[in-house]
Amino acid sequence: MFELIKGLGPKDALLTLSTIQHDEKTEPGLRIAAASALAPFCHPKLQATPTPRFIETPIDVPGFTSVEIARDFIATVTVRVARGELDFQSGQELIAMAKIWLDAMNDQSTLDTRPWTTALSPSKSFALKIPYPSCQDVKI
């Protein structure tokens, strides 16, 4: 077989496999092996690819500068999904984006308005005691 391949001269490996596969004088086992090696290049396995999503009417995503703007955007997206102008998955993703911003603003306002139980003022002082061993307690 190698003599046959040598006689063909330098060729592309896929062309060589194809020649072996189609040569009826070649033994069936070798033809099957050539066909098996060639098959993935001729018929690749299909993989899951995301379905392209097309939006016929563009969506204006505002810069969220206030909670009201984010809530209005969520309401607009909900209406567009209900009318069929926007698919459900895209609507969920846009609403999730707005909700993340709203949650971040809510967390920020919680931090800003949290009542502090121990507010320090110049007239108050405190002692901080940390229970570390003294140098005499450490044995080396």
pLDDT in 10s for each residue of the chain, 140 residues: 667 767 766 677 888 888 899 999 999 999 999 999 988 888 878 878 777 767 677 788 888 888 888 889 999 999 999 988 888 888 898 899 889 888 888 776 655 555 544 444 455 554 545 555 554 544 44
Structural domain includes residue 74: yes
Structural domain includes residue 124: no
Structural domain includes residue 116: no
Residue type, 28: P
Structural domain includes residue 140: no
Q: Which domain holds residue 99?
A: 67-111
pTM: 0.41
Q: How far is CA 49 from the centre of its chain?
A: 14
Nearest to 74 by CA among 58, 87, 92: 92
**DSSP category for residue 135:** T
Count the domains in the chain. Answer: 2
Nearest to 16 by CA among 4, 27, 28, 24: 4
Tokens found for residue 118: 């121990």
